[in-house]
Amino acid sequence: MKKTIAYITDIHLDEKFPMDNGVDARGNWNIILADINKRQIDEVVFWRRYRGSRCK
């Protein structure tokens, strides 16, 4: 059985930086959700780095 997984990272919803730079993060989120639906994804992995954390 084939399983299709979408891995979503760093959507930046309601963050100041994207808004200040004219990025419509909510609009992008809706595009992502529509694409997941269109592709009939079986599972979604959602990862969001919390403010203040850093990747080293």
Q: Residue 41: give the domain boundaries.
A: 5-47
Domains in the chain, number: 1
Q: Considering the domain boundaries, does residue 21 fall inside one? A: yes
Give kind and range of the element (H or E) at residue 20: helix 16-20
What pLDDT does residue 50 have? 63
Closest-CA residue to 3 (of 45, 42, 44): 42
* Sign, CA torsion 38/40/45/46: positive
Q: Considering the domain boundaries, does residue 38 fall inside one? A: yes
Q: Considering the domain boundaries, does residue 54 fall inside one? A: no
State pLDDT tens for residues 1-56.
899 999 998 888 888 999 999 999 999 999 999 999 999 999 999 886 666 555 54
Report helix, strand or coil for 27: helix
pTM of the model: 0.71
